A = this chain, B = another copy of it.
């Protein structure tokens, strides 16, 4: 079990793009009745199953397990809400933190988000010049909500 503390931002420009190679992610969610998240994900050829607890402040409990690729494929197809989330993720280490930039595809094409994971809630972090407006805690940007309300339908 890990405690997930992260801040999320829009991007100001494309300067981040030269800093990393993107990897293809495909993920989906089993819709829950509460604020827990149940996510299946494929990164390259590895499957993952992840549970997250309700958000408390900017942190939440996270439990992640590797699962066989074929299981992940069936869980995504048979158990997860459609459409699935597809994106390229760019991993950019800068100083003491790692920025992750998600460039969404499919129904969410046009949306790009940057996340930084912190080790404690009060940790300060220097924002690179390509970071834009902070959207931490805005539920529209939760990946699980981008299934129900994809970016292409935003006004």
Contacts and interface: CB of A to CB of B under 8 A. Distances in A.
A109 B81 CA distance: 36
Contact of A65 (B49, B53, B61, B70): B49
A33 B33 contact: yes
Interface in A40-88: 49, 51, 53, 61, 63, 65, 67, 70-71, 74-75, 78-79
A74 B61 contact: yes
Interface residues of A, number: 21
A36 interface: yes
Contacts of A124: none
Given A49-B49, A78-B61, A79-B53, A70 B32 contact: no
Contact of A51 (B31, B36, B70, B79): B79
A34 interface: yes
A1 interface: yes
Given A51-B75, A71-B63, A79-B51, A31 B32 contact: yes
Contacts of A36: 30, 79
B33 A71 contact: no
A1 B67 CA distance: 10
A38 interface: yes
Contact of A33 (B32, B51, B74, B78): B32
Interface of A: 1, 30-34, 36, 38, 49, 51, 53, 61, 63, 65, 67, 70-71, 74-75, 78-79
